[in-house]
Amino acid sequence: MVALRCLYLIALVFWVGGMVALGAFAAPATFDVLEGYYGATGRLQAGDVFDEMLRRFRHFEYGSAVVLLGSLGALGARDPKLPALAVRIGTVAIMLAVSLYAGFGIASQVAGLQAEIDGNLAAWTDSSLYAARFDRLYAQTTMLLLLNLGLGLSLIYWEARARIS
C-alpha cells in the first residue's frame, strides 16, 4: 500500500514539476534568447525547439497518467473505502484528456502552421497572420498547461491534506 502511494505521488510530482519547468523556465528562456539573437526567425526557431520539448514531455505525461491511474486502481482494489477515489481518478483522466488534446490536436495545428511558414518564410513578420495564429496556438497551449497544472496541484494538495488530517 505504501509503495503504491509513493509511486502515485512520485508520478504526480514529476508530471506537475515538469509542467512548471517547461512553462516557467524553458519556454520563456528559449523564446527570449532565440528572438534576441535572430528576431522573427529566432521566434520560429524557438517555436521549433519548444515544440520538440513539448513533444518529448508528452510521452512522459502519458506515462505518468498510466502510472497514476494504475496506482489509484490498485489502491482502490486494496481499499474500496479510499476517500474520493473516483474524484482522483476523474481528475487524472481529465488531465490525460487535456494532454492528449494538446499533444495531438494543437500540435498538429502547430505543425501545419510551421509547414506554411517554411513554404513562405519571406512573408514572416511579427505583425503577420502567421504571428497571430502562432500566438493563438501558444495561448491555447498555455491555457491547457495551466489547467493541468491546477488539476495536478489540487491532487497534491489533496494528498498533503489527507496526511495532515
Alpha-carbon distance of 154 to 32, in angstroms, equals 31
Strands (E), the chain: none
| Listed residue (134, 156, 127) closest to 5, CA to CA | 156
Q: What burial letters (b/e) apply to 65-79, b meaning 16+ CB within 10 Å?
A: bebbbebbeebeeee
Cell reading at 14: 514529476
| Listed residue (2, 4, 8, 52) closest to 30, CA to CA | 52
Q: What residues contact residue 16 under an 8 Å CB cut-off, 6+ apart?
A: 149, 152, 153, 156
The whole-model pTM stands at 0.85
Q: What is the pLDDT along the chain (165 residues), one digit of tens a residue?
A: 889 999 999 999 999 999 999 989 999 999 999 999 998 788 878 888 988 999 999 999 999 999 999 999 999 999 888 888 899 999 999 999 999 999 999 988 888 877 777 666 555 555 567 778 878 888 898 899 999 999 999 999 988 887 654
